[in-house]
Structure 1
Amino acid sequence: MKPTRFLNSLTLLLAGNARALNPIPLSPQTPHNASDALLRSFVSFSIELWSFPDFAGNLSAPNTFSYDLLRNIGEIRGDNPIIRIGGNTMDFTIFDPNQREALKGNYTLNITRDYPFSISMGPSFFESYQTWDNFSFIHGFNLESNDTKGYHTLVETVPLMCKALKGNRLAYWQIGNEPDLFKTFFDRRPAWWDEEQFAREWLSKTRLIKELVRNSCPEVIENGKYMFYAPAFAAGPGNTLNISKAFDGGLAEDDNIAFIDMHNYISGSTVPGVTLANTLMNHTSTVHSVNKHLNQSAHLSYLGIPYILGEANSLYGQGASGLSNSFGAALWGVDFNLYCAATGIRRVHMHQGTNYRYASWQPVQRANVTKGTKAPYYGNIAVANVLGDISRNNTRISNIDLASDHETAYAVYVDGKLARIALLQLSQYNYTSNTTNQPATRPNSTFIFQVPQDSGVKKIFVQRLMANGSDAISGITFDGYSYNYELDEGKPVLQNNITRGESILVGEDGLFDIDLPWSSGAVLHIN
């Protein structure tokens, strides 16, 4: 045996002995550090405006693959995800009432090939909002354009949105994507444009929209549904506006902000030193990223407005191949979403786009990207299973601190009682690698838990999130099911070669244990 592999084996043995002496205690009732009751649609999505016709299709050719994938999550959770349509391209889009195409764009290839920087929108764009039954949407309006074209875009598209999102299709409103970067990128605002100037502009345009709504769909105002996600700050590199100062500047004076909306990415796709093991599959990295929002939400708690992440994913810049599209990124997504839920982030919208490396699925066939389900989607499915049917129960979640970079656990309580445990082993195991730093065979970690002897818990049922390794981009399953497009267009298909239906007996002393291979996860259901 090579020395490095011997040391790895010894480390695993010592860790296992330590756990045997110190099992992880589980509270049978909701502990004091648990979250508030989770909101419906905690697991939600954001879709780049430029990509939305690809994801949803139109009335003559709806994208049923996307619909099936989203409905899978809705069926597990008891309600469908809320879909936000926005991203950078919402502020690059001008309306053309005479355009036949939904969208047309001009690319600036020396900056990015992922989306155009100049986009025209035709009336047919709004057909895409009508292809998915029983889903509600947030349409992102253009804040950046201050000229006559920008004004007419608002005036002409609000009535179309009212028509497309009538009934229960309207969730909330939004105008502007990451305005805290307007001065940093492409000089879209002058140097003197500060938080108060932003707040005044935002209020002016939302008041204009309200008058347009009053004329086109007054029932929205009458039913109390003229409410916004705001301010949609990036809160990352290049940020030039402070959220606290924006609210001090009067942003909330019209009392029409339903959720404080901020964005989050762990790091960037081209940032030096970003790796799967140390950036994504690292619980401490995730904690540091989310905790900055906890500090902000604490400072803003006096407003009494819930704090959410209206756009989030792994690496800004649309992700990186080999990192954001891997099974390791799916595991990161589980840890990230559950840590957000456990610490008071009230909803997370995972951002999507055509050809985006971090996307949960590719909605259409492209020259270099195959239509299909991608690794991060399995993380979305796992999170939905961990949280369960929020629509019918009081569901709360707590972080079980294992004091580890690569092992995490969460406990879910339903109506006050322990219902599920989420468990992640984030140590990197690349099945395509044969380096001396990696064990010859895939290691397991043993987790030993203890419930009180009088808890009545007798058996644990297990669902596993599995792939061949952290670098896998295919062959991924949750509880033995694949959601691949080529099997049944995204609907769950049971795989015969995957073990499922696993159960664990709880000892009379309240102890039970489970082995997790490196780079895998499990959901434990308490019976």
Structure 2
Amino acid sequence: MHFPAFPLILLLFTKSSSCIPTATQEFSAVPISKQIASLSIEFCYIVDYLGDNGSNKLSKQLLQNIQDISGVPPLIRIGGHTQDAAKYCSDCSETLVNVFVPGNLEAVNVTYNKNLFSILNNHVPSEQQFIFGLNLGQDIEIFPQEEVEAAEQYLRDSRVQSYELGNEPDFYGPSQRAAPWNVQTYTSQVVSWIKEIQASTKTKRGWQFGALAQEAQWQGNFSIPEFNVLDVPENIKPLVAYSDHTYPYSICSSATAALVSLPGLMNHTTTVNYFTQWIPSIQAAHSVGTLFYMGETGSVSCHGKNGVSNTMGAALWELDYVLNGATIGMDGVFFHMGTPFYYSMWQPVEFNSTAATVYPTCVSFLSSS
């Protein structure tokens, strides 16, 4: 089943079109990656999206549609806050178990067994690849080491593009790290852990570094350019990508929620101006021969806003975002999803008596493929 998109948009962005834009301005003109529009799925919801005992037919068909159009499916990052609550459990009987607390749509504890890797191997299109998120947040090194050991044993080599150790470490609070916690202590710990994981597991797979939450203009030196100063590229090999995260709007507080509007989101000039702040980070990544990913993003943080994030207007904004991101040199834009999140491109299973459904934003995804 193929879902309709705007015929004109699809015409403009087919593989053979001479209208495909290239990165210009400060960047050399290069073709845009077929995976410029990619996905980030909250770890605790990955089985909802891909299925357990059988594949999720809706998700598999949507991903297959994209592969049919562009030749490859979108990269999928499995991560988010719940990657820092996830642990591999070799003797657990269920594929994935989540523990939720009232009022929180993100699990506070996640355990999974080897069947998760079977799902990643078999419930997706033939060319599917993943960025697999590892647990840094709980500050116990054996957790990510056991995750990598299991992935190396059970996950096909072709399925893993890279590992990502930790989610939004620049926002770790006192419950996750004692002071001082800064770019130096973060980099020192992650470089050390990755080297030890590589030595113990013999993995040759690549790494994605950063996954920073703060907007570039407010990062200070907890930033991608500073990672270069601290010799991350010399110490992490292969370094596949640097990653930042952003959501232009937020409903995480009443003050920020009052600023959210669909016309504001769709304003092209605002979009262009907003993303220029990442140009130094993009340049820093490319200067050391690695990729820059906007590794988790969406319209409105704290899971989106009904009537804004799940509208055709948001779909047009996403298309504008991807093309503008490509123009300034982004190598991938990863739109975040979770089963109950309003900014998801589709809801994979029934939730709160609402049947599985595809949202208008999925049209933009198909169009930019």
TM-score between both structures, scaled by the size of structure 2: 0.85
Deviation at 1:96, TM superposition (A): 2.7
Aligned length: 341
The alignment status of 1:232 with 2:211, answered yes or no, reads: yes
Deviation at 1:29, TM superposition (A): 11
1:297-376 matches, within 5 Å, as: 297-376=282-361
**Compared CA separation, residues 119 and 377, structure 1 to 2 (3 A):** same
CA contact (8 A) 1:333 1:376 kept: yes
Query: Aligned residue for 2:70?
Result: 77
1:29-71 CA-partner distances (Å, limit 9, x unpaired): 989658422234222111111010010113x311121011011
1:98-113 matches, within 5 Å, as: 98-110=91-103, 112=104
Deviation at 1:339, TM superposition (A): 0.6
1:378-457 matches, within 5 Å, as: 378-384=363-369
CA contact (8 A) 1:180 1:235 kept: yes
Deviation at 1:152, TM superposition (A): 3.1
The alignment status of 1:116 with 2:107, answered yes or no, reads: yes
Identify, as 1 or 2, the structure richer in strand: 1
Residue 40 of structure 2 aligns to a residue whose secondary structure is: strand
**Compared CA separation, residues 27 and 174, structure 1 to 2 (3 A):** closer
**Compared CA separation, residues 287 and 95, structure 1 to 2 (3 A):** same
Deviation at 1:375, TM superposition (A): 1.1
Deviation at 1:191, TM superposition (A): 2.6
**Quick one: which amino acid aligns to residue 233 of structure 1?**
L
Structure 1: gaps spanning 5 or more residues = 1-25, 385-527
1:186-197 matches, within 5 Å, as: 187-197=175-185
CA contact (8 A) 2:298 2:335 kept: yes
The alignment status of 1:132 with 2:124, answered yes or no, reads: yes
Deviation at 1:105, TM superposition (A): 2.6
**Quick one: which amino acid aligns to residue 346 of structure 1?**
D
The alignment status of 1:90 with 2:83, answered yes or no, reads: yes
**Compared CA separation, residues 364 and 264, structure 1 to 2 (3 A):** same
Rg larger for: 1
**Compared CA separation, residues 378 and 28, structure 1 to 2 (3 A):** closer
1:257-268 matches, within 5 Å, as: 257-268=239-250
Deviation at 1:99, TM superposition (A): 1.7
Residue 41 of structure 2 aligns to a residue whose secondary structure is: strand
Identify, as 1 or 2, the structure richer in helix: 2
Q: Distance in 1 between matches of 2:131 and 2:24?
A: 34
Answer with 283-292 or 234-243: which moved more.
234-243
Correspondence for 2:223 among 242, 252, 262: 242
1:359-409 CA-partner distances (Å, limit 9, x unpaired): 00000111243201111101111212xxxxxxxxxxxxxxxxxxxxxxxxx
**Quick one: which amino acid aligns to residue 212 of structure 1?**
S
**Compared CA separation, residues 119 and 284, structure 1 to 2 (3 A):** same
Query: Aligned residue for 1:175?
Result: 165
The alignment status of 1:212 with 2:212, answered yes or no, reads: no
CA contact (8 A) 2:224 2:284 kept: no
1:36-55 matches, within 5 Å, as: 36-55=30-49
**Quick one: which amino acid aligns to residue 373 of structure 1?**
V
The alignment status of 1:152 with 2:142, answered yes or no, reads: yes
Q: Distance in 2 between matches of 1:202 and 1:190?
A: 16
Q: Distance in 1 between matches of 2:50 and 2:112?
A: 16
**Quick one: which amino acid aligns to residue 97 of structure 1?**
S
% of aligned pairs identical? 25
Query: Aligned residue for 1:405?
Result: none
Q: Distance in 2 between matches of 1:57 and 1:315?
A: 27
Q: Distance in 1 between matches of 2:82 and 2:24?
A: 42
Residue 298 of structure 2 aligns to a residue whose secondary structure is: strand
